[in-house]
Structure 1
Amino acid sequence: MEHIVEERSAGDAELAQLLEAAFAELVGRYGAEGRSQVKDRARYFVVLDEERRAVGCGAVQVFGPETEHPGDGEVKRMYVVPPARGRGYARALLAALEGAARSAGHPALRLSTGELQPEAIALYESCGYVRATPWGKYVDQPAVRCYAKSL
């Protein structure tokens, strides 16, 4: 199927719907701790449209100068609606985020995912992300897996 990945603003209505669906899925898997906000700190968002319908999204937020990884980007809220899964859309979203982060001068991208998301783990590992030492709030969360990829 034909698809387009494009940058969207934080206030985009279709993006908001996708983020709500992503949060709902995370809460379903992890309980209330699955819900966290990313909009205020994200540098950019992308949305994947399949035949003029928004079916996937992702974001990159930037590690601040006071963090363990200043200047790196962090992949957040990768999500594809269930009926559109299995078509390579998550891989296309991730590639778009990597390209945007590379163009912005980030030396690496980092991300976290949970043990209850084996499909995400498989995607990230197949795209060259390697296990990384947990940072920030993930340090004491053994069910969280952190990954990094040099750009």
Structure 2
Amino acid sequence: MLIEIRPSLDPELAALITAQQRELADSGVLAGGRTFEPGDDVSYLVGAVNGRAVACGAWQALGPGAAELRRMYVRPAFRGRGLARQMIVAIEEEALAAGRSLLRLELAAGLSAAIALYQSSGYRQITPSAPGRVWFEKRLPALVQ
């Protein structure tokens, strides 16, 4: 998979996030009909297989030294190939290069496959923010200069 940084208004990125939002809404995880609102304060990555955008993810700066991992999605036909794990590693590398060694993420408690993915990628669960939601974090090793 080729992973590259894309601008927030990239049409392939928008299609991936729209598919993610639709899938979450259809499963009952996402309520309220939220839509994708691109932000310039978010760094987006898109993964392509044979020239087709099939995965995305992003990170957004929180406080000093911290970032939130967001917008992780892999098209269903491409799941089970390790693409999400590749995307997580790429996001971690980008955030770390920007001086963000602590990554956090929030997701619905019912997303068992996503929870297993993050736990197996070294993220540990921290105090939940709201009922039905779980927070994870991972401290990344410092870059050797």
Q: TM-score, normalised by structure 1?
A: 0.85
Decide which of 13, 16, 19 is 1:15's aligned counterpart: 13
Task: Give the counterpart letter for 1:6 in structure 2.
Answer: E
1:21 & 1:105 partners in 2: Cα distance? 31
Per the alignment, residue 143 of structure 2 pairs with none
- Shift, 1:142, TM fit: 1.9
Contact 1:73 1:109 in 2 (8 A): yes
Change (3 A) 1:122 1:24: same
Number of equivalences: 139
Per the alignment, residue 145 of structure 1 pairs with 134
Per the alignment, residue 25 of structure 1 pairs with 23
1:84 & 1:14 partners in 2: Cα distance? 16
- Shift, 1:17, TM fit: 0.2
Task: Give the counterpart letter for 2:113 in structure 1.
Answer: E
- Shift, 1:31, TM fit: 4.2
Contact 1:130 1:149 in 2 (8 A): yes
Change (3 A) 1:133 1:31: closer
2:136 & 2:69 partners in 1: Cα distance? 10
Contact 1:41 1:62 in 2 (8 A): no
1:95 & 1:133 partners in 2: Cα distance? 24
Alignment of 1:95-110 (within 5 A): 95-110=89-104
Residue 89, structure 1, aligned to residue 83, structure 2: yes
Decide which of 102, 109, 112 is 1:118's aligned counterpart: 112
Q: What are the Cα deviations for residues 31-62 of structure 1, in whole angstroms up to 9, with x where unaligned?
A: 42473646226431000100100000001111
Q: Secondary structure at the match of 1:54?
A: strand
Q: What are the Cα deviations for residues 71-99 of structure 1, in whole angstroms up to 9, with x where unaligned?
A: 41101110000000000000000000000
Instruction: Give the superposed CA RMSD.
Output: 1.7
- Shift, 1:27, TM fit: 1.3
Contact 2:69 2:103 in 1 (8 A): yes
Change (3 A) 1:34 1:109: farther
- Shift, 1:115, TM fit: 1.9
Per the alignment, residue 62 of structure 1 pairs with 61
Change (3 A) 1:34 1:107: farther
Per the alignment, residue 67 of structure 1 pairs with none
Contact 1:26 1:35 in 2 (8 A): no
Q: TM-score, normalised by structure 2?
A: 0.88
